[in-house]
Amino acid sequence: MKTSGNIRAYLSNVINRFEAGELDESAAKARGYLAQLMAKVIETSDLEQRVQALEETSNGN
């Protein structure tokens, strides 16, 4: 998972599998929690890259 779109697709799949009875509640919750963590990591990484680009621009690099 590298983008928020990937996470959205993954969570959609988890929900569908849970509703179909292929995943129990505990497994669905664990996957949802891990996806939430990954979303935060992606968000933080994206912000870090944006700040770095702004710093390079303001420093004339």
- 4: which 2 tokens? 């928020």
Task: Kindly write down the DSSP assignment for every residue of 2-32, as one continuous string.
Answer: -SHHHHHHHHHHHHHHHHTTSS-HHHHHHHH
- Which residues lie closer than 8 Å to 25 by C-beta, 6 or more apart? 18
Q: What is the pLDDT of residue 1?
A: 84
Q: What is the pLDDT of residue 61?
A: 59
pLDDT in tens, 2-28: 899 999 999 999 999 999 999 999 999
pLDDT in tens, 22-55: 999 999 999 999 999 999 999 999 999 999 999 9
First to last CA, the chain: 31
- State the Cα–Cα distance between residues 46 and 23, nearest whole angstrom: 31
